[in-house]
A and B are shown apart, each in its own frame.
Chain A
Amino acid sequence: MSMSGAPERRSAALGLALQALLVAAVLGGLFWVVQHALEVLRGRGVRSGFDFLAQSAGFEISEGWLDYDSGQPFWRAFLAGFINTVRAALPAALLAVVLGTLLGIGRLAPHALVRGLCAVYVQTVRNVPLLVQMLMLYFALTQLLPDSAEAIRLAPGVFLSKGGLSLPWPLREAGAFWPHGFEWPEQGGFNIVGGAALSPEYLAVVGALALYTAAFVAEIVRAGIASVAPGQKLAAQALGLEPGAQLRLVVLPQALRLIVPALTNQLLSLTKNSSLAVAVGYPELVSVANTSLNSTGRAFECIAIVMAVYLLLSLAISAGMNLYNARVALRGWR
């Protein structure tokens, strides 16, 4: 297209040169900062490097799925912390999506009181910081509930007290997949005996994450459903579809196109927000990193591990949701 020769080429060359300069400045700056940091650290006699991961950690982790004790190396502690992050984020995400969907549909319900109650919930929860809600829930769970000697019996075998929530737990023989029975928690003299126990820290983290994120999910679901043209629902009615089938076959498939990308963002922030658990002492990744940082002084390494893990987790969630999105997206669109 270009008819002028030399000036055009000269400006392209100038652009290239400036870009090279920009990249060189950024990379050079980063290199200088890292170099300087290493020098300062060496000057202070601070040891650096990831070799500490093989050393014995020396601190306990109060709960989790991984078999861990204080004699094991740091990398096991980080792994236990990461698994605890997943252990909190996964149930919280499921609860948030279910509760949020119900609230979102409720905000469009044909009944004014249902709409009003759902709106009050969303507007209350959305406008208070998650950390405040988590701390408040933790205080309520650990201070306002009765002692475990006189736990509240929510249902047969389900007890709630300052000590946490006790649930029946399936008993399995070694190697068998199907449980042959349940171990039921019972009220003992001083505390609850048997079954599985969920700590108040865990309950506060999962509860606050789920309740908070549900309010945002509700807004997304509401916007998604409201975006479907009203004619679509009328047409489905005219075809004689039942109300449930109208929602399932006509409205939701169209609404999901809007809902899924926004929902991905919410799940990403839920995962990142699980790091707030450090404030109530639930031993997830950030909490383990914080303890390790204080005991080894390797700030750079510990923070780098946390950031790298969250980046990978974010990428994994994005990739998974993109696959799902490709299924619900309009054909021919990206």
Chain B
Amino acid sequence: MSAALPPPPAEPWARRWGRELFGTPWRALASLVLLLLIVWAAAHALDWGVLRAVFQPDAEACRMPGRGACWGVIAEKWRPLLFGRYPYEAQWRPAVAVVLLSAVTLLSAWPRSWRWWLAPLWLVALGAFVVLMFGGVAGLAAVPTNRWGGLPLTIGLAVIGLALAFPLALLLALGRRSRWPAARALCATYIELVRGVPLISVLFMVSFLLPLLWPAGWQPDVLVRVLAGLSLFVAAYMAEIVRGGLQAVPRGQVDAAMALGFGRWPVQRDIVLPQALRLVVPALTNTVVGTLKDTSLVTVVGLFELTGALGLALGGDPTWRPFYLEGYLFIAAVYWVMCFGLSRYSTWLERRLAAA
């Protein structure tokens, strides 16, 4: 047997890119056209967004002819953009609440921390979030929910909505695979009905219909109703993902556990679910991204989360109203950072789980 040859020397990156871009005449032509296009677009973006832009909160300067982007609108309005109508001097509370939830989210993103203590930790974090936002205890002034807004509301709606949806999704997924035809039919009907209607109609239902059903004076808060609608909606989509995970656990696992003397519920709890949930974490992360984006819809029923807060901050102020575009770009960037981060995480996790 001859010794293996050493691998060919790595091609220097400049040569590789040269071949990739200009290897053949057609390739060179395409590259040239595309590069020109990219440079043209980048130059315009740079000119508008940086060189001719106004960064000071000075509406006069922004209105001068020949000026580009008015980032001053962000400098002026970032507090109402991020916190809505939350009382100005108490805005450190939502800020701390958001940092807290983000920290716990980051911690739970790490597979090594998937332990029993994660659930109580989430309960504590959610409790702290609610206490910080509501106030009324420990010397914190009470802030009614109609003053909540901006990023804390977006993140709070998404996180609490998902947390409430998850147990329901688990039940629905198990129910759809139940031995009982009646349970299967009920769960399937619920899932298909909810997946067939738009979220807006569910939000309209909870904000217009539910108030009619309650005796006056004993009305649940609009935020509570929207949260209920959101989680009932998300649960149907989540249930289908969990069901996919349950189906992917080989039948032999169940048989083996039964042979070892496990009962029907312990098999699900100790054997099937832990494997199924691990499998579906990447897909569930995509649901998280979807829910985070879907929270923007609650602005239609009058809650001022990030999207609604923009209208609140700029719509009522004639000085800054012309600079909506910059405002939209700002909140789009905030959403993008959160959603892109989550989707990168999902891909990373998928690779890691596939390798394991």
Cross-chain contact A127 with B339 (CB below 8 angstroms): yes
Cross-chain contact B324 with A311 (CB below 8 angstroms): no
Interface residues of B in 260-305 (CB under 8 A from A): 289, 293-294, 296-297, 299-300
Of A145-153, A192-200, A236-244, A298-306, the segment with at least 4 beta carbons within 8 Å of chain B is A298-306
Cross-chain contact A310 with B196 (CB below 8 angstroms): yes
Known A-B contacts A37-B212, A306-B201; A130 and B293 likewise in contact (beta carbons under 8 Å) = yes
Cross-chain contact A129 with B296 (CB below 8 angstroms): yes
* Chain A residues whose C-beta falls within 8 Å of the C-beta of B307 in the assembled complex: 129, 131-132, 135
Which of B179, B198, B204, B208 contacts A273, CB < 8 Å? Answer: B198
Q: Which residue of A lies closest to B293 (CB)?
A: A129
Known A-B contacts A112-B21, A127-B340, A286-B200; A140 and B325 likewise in contact (beta carbons under 8 Å) = yes
Which of A40, A117, A276 contacts B213, CB < 8 Å? Answer: A40
Task: Tell me how far the C-beta of B232 lies from the nearest C-beta in chain A, rounded to whole angstroms.
Answer: 13
How far does the alpha carbon of A41 sit from the alpha carbon of B209 in the complex, in Å? Answer: 11
* Chain B residues whose C-beta falls within 8 Å of the C-beta of A129 in the assembled complex: 293-294, 296, 307, 335
How far does the alpha carbon of A113 sit from the alpha carbon of B328 in the complex, in Å? Answer: 28
Interface residues of B in 17-64 (CB under 8 A from A): 17, 20-21, 27, 30-31, 34-35, 38
* Chain B residues whose C-beta falls within 8 Å of the C-beta of A319 in the assembled complex: none
Cross-chain contact A37 with B325 (CB below 8 angstroms): no
Q: Which residue of A lies closest to B337 (CB)?
A: A127
Most buried by A among B186, B193, B297: B297
Chain A 38-66, CB within 8 Å of chain B: the 1/0 string?
A: 00110010100000000000000000000
How far does the alpha carbon of A46 sit from the alpha carbon of B211 in the complex, in Å? Answer: 13
* Chain B residues whose C-beta falls within 8 Å of the C-beta of A245 in the assembled complex: none
Cross-chain contact B300 with A19 (CB below 8 angstroms): no
Which of A22, A127, A133, A310 contacts B343, CB < 8 Å? Answer: A127
Cross-chain contact B31 with A310 (CB below 8 angstroms): no
Cross-chain contact B340 with A26 (CB below 8 angstroms): no
Known A-B contacts A113-B34, A132-B328; A40 and B300 likewise in contact (beta carbons under 8 Å) = no
Chain B 315-344, CB within 8 Å of chain A: the 1/0 string?
A: 000000010110011011001100110010
Chain B 53-91, CB within 8 Å of chain A: the 1/0 string?
A: 000000000000000000000000000000000000000
* Chain B residues whose C-beta falls within 8 Å of the C-beta of A300 in the assembled complex: 209, 212
Known A-B contacts A127-B339, A128-B335; A114 and B325 likewise in contact (beta carbons under 8 Å) = no
- B181 at the A interface (CB under 8 A): yes
Cross-chain contact A113 with B186 (CB below 8 angstroms): no
List chain B positions with a Cβ less than 8 A from chain A: 17, 20-21, 27, 30-31, 34-35, 38, 179-183, 186, 193, 195-201, 204-205, 208-209, 212-215, 289, 293-294, 296-297, 299-300, 307, 322, 324-325, 328-329, 331-332, 335-336, 339-340, 343
Interface CB pairs A-B, < 8 A, 23: A19-B180, A19-B182, A19-B183, A23-B182, A37-B212, A40-B213, A41-B212, A111-B30, A111-B31, A113-B31, A132-B332, A133-B332, A136-B332, A143-B322, A143-B325, A272-B198, A275-B201, A279-B300, A286-B200, A300-B212, A306-B197, A310-B198, A310-B201
Known: A128-B293, A314-B195. 19 other contacts (CB 8 A): A22-B182, A22-B183, A22-B186, A113-B38, A129-B296, A131-B307, A132-B331, A136-B325, A139-B324, A139-B328, A275-B200, A276-B200, A293-B204, A299-B208, A299-B209, A300-B209, A303-B209, A311-B193, A314-B196
